[in-house]
């Protein structure tokens, strides 16, 4: 139990450490929406605000296409990094970049065709709004390549633990976007085209700064056309499609809601909804950052076949992330009127109160959304396809659309907002019922609530976890590992070697890693007996240290130096090291 708590603490600590940067990444895309909405409402007009709102579902379609590549590539990269298969990681990275460029060119062609031939009548019949919408689309087309490619590079940088590059790129985007919006819209009066062009050029700055790491930096992932292999394209798409389902369904939902608002409320309804949606999207960067962190950790846990860590990630979501989201929801509700006044100044204007009620009602759905997103990510990772599709359909468009249809005649604009809350409640209820349906019994703890597949991971009978917090704990490791191995029928010699190897490596981590800073550290040791192999894994949050480098350096030194590391490399069948998301992971196979 103590070892499980230590692993959970390390996972939770990692989730919180990665969170601020991932929120910043998620906020980059949302800043475009809030800045465009602000300048549209205050310096162009309500029709321009309507055009921004109409582009929302289109942007979701583009995001869905991008997510197919992003979801599949990120999951496979995390999995192969967990297995230390660098060649496969490079192939996925190269394949993803090439496909992202081709996808971008295809989308640009479609957008230009829609705008040039005024085919946007399928989105709105209002001629004045459509003219503004066409020019807005032209400006957005310029930024499609960096938008799609930048999304991919952000995840790859996170996997390499190079978030600082994305931080610089993110801040640069925000600054460039604000400056260009002021120049193009406020000074040069370029109206809707200026709104879109500013964000497009900002995305180019963002993407080029991120790409510089892979072009000129010492990146782990390498772009190499000689390693370009289409064999994994099918897996990328199959894995990515469920991830993209959510954006695709949200796009369908957006078209339905826009149609209902146009019919029953009018264009001011779309303008109010656009203001609420764009500002809340900024706050939704917080749960988006949370799910980004969890998705990365889940993909690595799947690669390591780590049942316990997968459970700890979901536990961290409930204990840390949910309380944060509840606080954010209350904050938005309290400041509903000040937020509405950012877009519409006159409280007597009907669009003002429509916007206020949006900020009062929709935030109630945000904690539910966080739970739903995590379970969608989890069931996707463990290949539970039926419940995955059910959750995507329910939360993606069915519940919101259906409740809006039922309520809009009586409640008007507020029906849309209430529908979001009801959708969260219904979908969360389905999640709670799911383990009862699969297992046939009421779950007693989180692992049973997750209805984790029996074939996934290593059973507690075949593994042993040990947590080390001080040097005095190290000598006990060898004895515990030997007893475990002997109890599993492993011969005496291999049991002794396994215990001695882990004692040497764990002692090295405690001796050197714990003294480099004033932080409190722990070492998570896991021993697995699988297919007659003894697999030893050490995971720690100390400074990055590759024992293989010390082994190679030791070859030219006094043979009495680093004797423990030398011994392990000689007796082990395989030794692998990697630094995943700032965590050292050393695997020794005996």
Domains of the chain and any CATH numbers: 2-221+249-439 (no CATH), 463-589 (3.30.565.10)
Determine the Cα–Cα distance for residues 255 and 248; give it in Å rounded to an integer.
Answer: 11
Q: What is the pLDDT along the chain (590 residues), one digit of tens a residue?
A: 555 565 666 677 777 777 776 776 666 656 666 676 677 767 676 666 667 777 777 777 788 788 888 778 877 777 677 666 777 888 888 888 888 999 999 999 999 998 888 887 777 777 777 888 888 889 889 999 999 998 888 878 877 777 778 888 888 888 888 899 889 888 888 888 888 898 899 999 999 999 888 887 677 777 877 766 777 777 777 777 766 777 778 778 888 888 898 889 887 888 888 888 878 877 888 888 888 788 778 877 776 677 778 888 888 899 999 999 999 999 999 999 999 998 888 888 888 999 999 999 999 999 999 999 899 888 888 878 888 889 988 987 899 999 999 999 999 999 999 999 999 999 999 999 998 888 788 888 887 888 877 766 666 677 787 877 777 777 788 888 888 888 888 888 888 888 888 887 777 777 777 766 666 777 778 888 877 778 888 877 777 666 655 544 444 454 445 555 666 767 677 777 776 666 777 777 77
Burial track 435-447 (b if 16+ CB lie within 10 A, e otherwise): beebeeeebeeeb
Determine the Cα–Cα distance for residues 478 and 51; give it in Å rounded to an integer.
Answer: 67
CB 61 within 8 A of CB 81: no
Q: Comparing C-alpha atoms, which of 205, 337, 339, 202 is closest to residue 283?
A: 339
Q: What does DSSP assign to residue 523?
A: E
Determine the Cα–Cα distance for residues 286 and 25; give it in Å rounded to an integer.
Answer: 10
Sheet of 463-468: strand order equals 463-468, 523-530, 533-540, 583-589, 574-580
Q: For residue 553, what pLDDT is reported?
A: 42
Token couple for 467: 């947590």
DSSP secondary structure letters along 68-82: HHHHHHHHHHHHHHH
Determine the Cα–Cα distance for residues 180 and 189; give it in Å rounded to an integer.
Answer: 12
CA distances from 10 to 15, 26, 312, 507, 537 (A): 9, 24, 9, 19, 15
Token couple for 472: 């005095």
The backbone region for 84, taken as left when phi is positive above 0, alpha when psi lies in -120 to 50, beta otherwise, is left
CB 423 within 8 A of CB 394: yes
Determine the Cα–Cα distance for residues 367 and 349; give it in Å rounded to an integer.
Answer: 31
* Secondary structure of 396-428 in HEC code, one letter for each residue: HHHHHHHHHHHHHHHHCCHHHHHHHHHHHHHHH
Determine the Cα–Cα distance for residues 395 and 388; give it in Å rounded to an integer.
Answer: 11
Q: Comparing C-alpha atoms, which of 433, 521, 458 is closest to residue 310?
A: 458
Q: For residue 516, what pLDDT is reported?
A: 66
Q: Comparing C-alpha atoms, which of 468, 464, 503 is closest to residue 487?
A: 464
Determine the Cα–Cα distance for residues 550 and 572; give it in Å rounded to an integer.
Answer: 16
Nearest-10 Cα torsion for 95, 285, 22, 303? -60
């Amino acid at each position: 139990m103590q070892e499980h708590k230590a692993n959970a603490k390390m996972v939770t600590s990692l989730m919180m450490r990665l969170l601020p940067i991932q929120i910043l990444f998620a906020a980059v895309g949302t800043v475009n929406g809030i800045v465009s909405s602000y300048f549209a409402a205050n310096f162009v007009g309500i029709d321009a605000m309507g055009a921004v709102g109409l582009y929302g579902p289109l942007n979701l379609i583009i995001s869905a296409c991008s997510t197919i590549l992003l979801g599949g590539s990120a999951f496979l990269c995390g999995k192969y990094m967990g297995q230390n298969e660098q060649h496969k990681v490079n192939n996925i990275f190269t394949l993803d970049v090439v496909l992202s460029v081709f996808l971008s060119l295809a989308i640009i062609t479609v957008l230009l065709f829609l705008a040039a031939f005024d085919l946007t009548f399928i989105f709105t019949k209002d001629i004045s709004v459509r003219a503004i919408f066409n020019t807005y689309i032209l400006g957005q087309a310029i930024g499609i390549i960096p938008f799609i490619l930048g999304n991919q590079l952000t995840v790859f940088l996170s996997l390499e633990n190079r978030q600082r590059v994305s931080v610089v790129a993110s801040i640069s985007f925000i600054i460039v976007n604000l400056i260009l919006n002021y120049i193009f819209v406020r000074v040069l009066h370029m109206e809707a085209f200026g709104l879109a062009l500013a964000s497009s050029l900002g995305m180019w700055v963002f993407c080029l700064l991120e790409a510089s790491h892979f072009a000129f930096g010492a990146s782990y992932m390498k772009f190499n056309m000689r390693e370009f292999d289409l064999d994994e394209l099918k897996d990328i798409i199959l894995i990515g499609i469920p991830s993209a389902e959510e954006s695709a369904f949200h796009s369908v939902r957006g078209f339905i809601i826009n149609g209902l608002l146009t019919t029953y409320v009018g264009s001011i309804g779309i303008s109010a909804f656009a203001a609420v949606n764009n500002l809340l999207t900024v706050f939704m960067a917080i749960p988006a950052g949370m799910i980004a962190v969890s998705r990365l950790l889940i993909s690595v846990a799947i690669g390591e076949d780590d049942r316990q860590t997968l459970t700890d990630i979901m536990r961290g979501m409930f204990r840390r992330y949910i309380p944060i989201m509840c606080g954010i929801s209350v904050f938005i509700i309290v400041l509903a009127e000040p937020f509405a006044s950012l877009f519409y100044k006159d409280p007597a204007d009907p669009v003002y109160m429509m916007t206020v009620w949006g900020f009062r009602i929709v935030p109630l759905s945000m904690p539910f959304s966080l739970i739903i997103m995590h379970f969608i990510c989890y069931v996707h990772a463990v290949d539970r396809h039926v419940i995955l599709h059910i959750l995507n359909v329910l939360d993606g468009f069915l519940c919101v659309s259906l409740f809006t249809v039922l309520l809009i005649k009586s409640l008007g604009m507020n029906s849309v907002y209430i529908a979001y809350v009801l959708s969260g409640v219904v979908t969360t209820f389905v999640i709670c019922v799911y383990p009862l349906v699969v297992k046939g019994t009421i779950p007693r703890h989180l692992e049973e609530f997750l209805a984790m597949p029996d074939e996934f991971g290593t059973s507690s009978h075949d593994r042993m976890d040990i947590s080390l917090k001080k040097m005095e704990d190290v000598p006990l490791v060898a004895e515990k590992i030997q007893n475990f191995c002997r109890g599993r029928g492993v011969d005496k010699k291999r049991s002794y070697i396994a215990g001695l190897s882990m004692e040497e490596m764990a002692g090295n981590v405690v001796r050197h890693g714990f003294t480099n800073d004033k932080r409190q550290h722990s070492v998570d040791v896991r021993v697995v007996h699988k297919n007659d192999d003894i697999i030893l894994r050490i995971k720690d949050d100390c400074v990055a240290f590759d024992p293989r480098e010390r082994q190679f350096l030791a070859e030219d030194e006094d043979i009495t130096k680093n004797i423990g590391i030398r011994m392990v490399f000689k007796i082990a069948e395989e030794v692998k090291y990697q630094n995943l998301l700032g965590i050292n992971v050393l695997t020794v196979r005996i």
